[in-house]
Amino acid sequence: MDEPTTVGDVMTTEVVVASPDSAAAELVELLTGSHLRTVPVVDGAGQVVGVVSDTDLVDLVPGRRIRNGRPKLWRYVSREGNVGALMTAPAVTVEPDVPIGEAIRRMAVGRVPCLPVVTSTGRLVGVVTASDLLTTGRSDEVIRAEVTALLDRYLPSLCADADISVEGGVVTLTGEIAAASTIGLAVHLARNVTGVTRVVDDLHPTGYGLAAAERAAKPSPRS
């Protein structure tokens, strides 16, 4: 069987959805009954207009002292509001023909646990989660996309200056970096990506190459 390469290869096509006009109480029952954390919100034409999650509900709770689990929090907020008022819009979406590596990048940059899969006109055709993407074959392309997304999220200036390559699961980070203190963190982030077998650190502080050349050209002290 060929290795999955696009979102369409791994997405779920039977999707639980919500309507913008649905009451929050209905959403609570929907999420608890389906054991989901996030669902797409679609209009009457099947167009994705947003996403809504359990955290959208929890954020409405004014009494942060409640600590007895998610169901009790949900019962409190379910008395008011509708899905359209709670949802996050616009939704971060992806198309079926998008490569898995790009979908991982969008998910990491958007800080979302799943992506509604839509046609070019915005009609919902499926949904893809982090586990769908990260449990596929870990090709070098997919690993590079995830490493790049992590560095872009947490160390954007380093990511802009570094060259990231992956071969056989070995990640090589190359380049001159303005903030030398971030190099260790970059290596740590890359090392913890699933499928990475080793990280080659070839990152250097800005000016390192010039300084090394000057040291090499400097005459040795006389004995």
pLDDT confidence of residue 22: 85
pLDDT confidence of residue 210: 46
Quote the pTM value: 0.59
Q: Identify the segments of the chain with pLDDT beneath 70.
A: 1-4, 57-80, 135-138, 207-223
- Alpha-carbon distance of 29 to 14, in angstroms, equals 18
In the three-class reduction of DSSP (H, G, I as helix; E, B as strand; rest coil), residue 117 is classed as strand
**Encoded tokens for 222:** 């006389």
Burial grade of 177 (CB within 10 A; 0-12, 13-18, 19 or more): buried
**Encoded tokens for 187:** 């290596």
- Are 106 and 146 spatial neighbours (Cβ–Cβ below 8 Å)? no
pLDDT confidence of residue 71: 47
- Are 116 and 40 spatial neighbours (Cβ–Cβ below 8 Å)? yes
- Alpha-carbon distance of 42 to 119, in angstroms, equals 13
pLDDT confidence of residue 220: 57
- Are 129 and 37 spatial neighbours (Cβ–Cβ below 8 Å)? no
pLDDT confidence of residue 68: 46
Domains of the chain: 7-134 (3.10.580.10), 140-210 (3.30.1340.30)
